[in-house]
């Protein structure tokens, strides 16, 4: 599902990643590990097309397609999803509007058809009830006034509704209480059509996810065991 080949990345001419090679098989739950500052968030940001990073060499192959030069919007529409460690607040953009625009874009890209309001609302209610999310959240601005755990729930809501081919979760357990962590683990286990790449520093959480593969970074390079 994802192949990283000889990838080197820099930021403002400072080398951050050197000759990264990583393979994530379809349907796997792959752990990206390493100490703080080892390059994990840089790597997932590069995979998602964050324009602040410069790819000096190498390729990113997703689902058989070379996406090295594609922008983040195209990568998202192709089926990549990022649950970021730090998420922005977007005053004035409600959760409901954000989800509707996101799902409409994905539906049109994948099928060429418009998303019906009835289908959207049905999917939204099913996902909201699954996560026990209050209905009044839908009319609040994205992440404004939400706690860390509530922001994780919003991320899960978007994950369930978009059903990506490949989901990157950057420390999804950080700031989440045991109840939200349990929901995270259950959803990862349930979404068998989605491949997961996740970062976590919590041993208990990692053991419960039960990763099927591990890549460890150290000072911007893959650690060879």
Q: Each residue of 106-140: pLDDT tens digit?
A: 888 888 888 888 989 999 999 999 898 999 999 99
Domain count, the chain: 1
Which whole number is the average pLDDT over 169-187?
A: 82
Contact between 167 and 81 under an 8 Å Cβ cutoff? The reply is yes
Q: Which domain holds residue 168?
A: 2-222
Residue 55: beta bridge partners? Answer: 9
For residue 96, what are the CA distances in angstroms to 118, 128, 141, 161, 219?
A: 14, 11, 9, 12, 40
Q: What values do phi and psi take at 174, rounded to 5?
A: -70, 125
**180 confidence band (pLDDT: 50, 70, 90):** confident
Q: What is the pLDDT of residues 136-175, one digit of tens each?
A: 999 999 988 888 888 888 889 999 998 999 999 988 877 6
Q: How far apart are CA 121 and CA 107, in angstroms?
A: 14
Which whole number is the average pLDDT over 5-9?
A: 96
Contact between 168 and 198 under an 8 Å Cβ cutoff? The reply is yes
Q: How far apart are CA 178 and CA 155, in angstroms?
A: 16
Contact between 180 and 160 under an 8 Å Cβ cutoff? The reply is no
Examine the pLDDT at 225 and tell me if it is beyond 70. Answer: no
**19 confidence band (pLDDT: 50, 70, 90):** very high
């953009």: which residue's tokens?
93
Contact between 115 and 62 under an 8 Å Cβ cutoff? The reply is no
- pTM (two decimals): 0.89
Q: What is the pLDDT of residue 84?
A: 83
Look at strands 195-199 and 141-142 and give their pairing.
Answer: unpaired
For residue 127, what are the CA distances in angstroms to 104, 123, 161, 163?
A: 16, 6, 7, 11
Which whole number is the average pLDDT over 207-211?
A: 87
Q: What values do phi and psi take at 195, rounded to 5?
A: -90, 140
Contact between 193 and 163 under an 8 Å Cβ cutoff? The reply is yes
Burial 99-137 (b: 16+ CB within 10 A, else e): bbeebeebbeeeeeeebeeeebeebbeebbeebebeeeb
Q: How far apart are CA 59 and CA 155, in angstroms?
A: 28
Nearest to 24 by CA among 1, 7, 44, 47: 1
Which whole number is the average pLDDT over 34-38?
A: 88
Supply the CATH number for residue 44's domain.
3.40.50.300
């Amino acid at each position: 599902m994802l192949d990283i080949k000889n990838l080197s990345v820099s930021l403002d001419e400072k080398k951050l990643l050197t000759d990264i090679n990583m393979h994530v098989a379809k349907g796997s739950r792959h752990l990206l590990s390493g100490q703080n500052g080892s390059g994990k968030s840089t790597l997932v940001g590069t995979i998602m097309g964050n324009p602040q990073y410069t790819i000096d060499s190498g390729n990113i192959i997703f689902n058989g397609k070379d996406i090295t030069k594609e922008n983040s919007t195209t990568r998202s529409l192709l089926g990549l999803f990022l649950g970021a460690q730090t998420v922005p607040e977007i005053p004035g953009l409600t959760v409901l509007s954000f989800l509707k625009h996101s799902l409409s874009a994905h539906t049109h890209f994948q099928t060429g058809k418009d998303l019906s309001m009835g289908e959207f609302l049905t999917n939204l209610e099913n996902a909201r009830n699954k996560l026990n999310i209050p209905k009044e959240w839908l009319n609040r601005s994205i992440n404004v006034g939400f706690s860390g755990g509530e922001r994780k729930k919003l991320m899960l809501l978007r994950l369930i509704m978009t059903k990506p081919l490949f989901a990157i979760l950057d420390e999804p357990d950080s700031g989440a209480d045991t109840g939200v962590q349990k929901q995270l683990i259950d959803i990862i286990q349930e979404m068998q059509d989605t491949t997961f790449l996740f970062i976590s520093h919590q041993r208990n959480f990692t053991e419960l996810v039960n990763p099927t593969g591990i890549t460890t970074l150290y000072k911007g390079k893959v650690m060879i065991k």
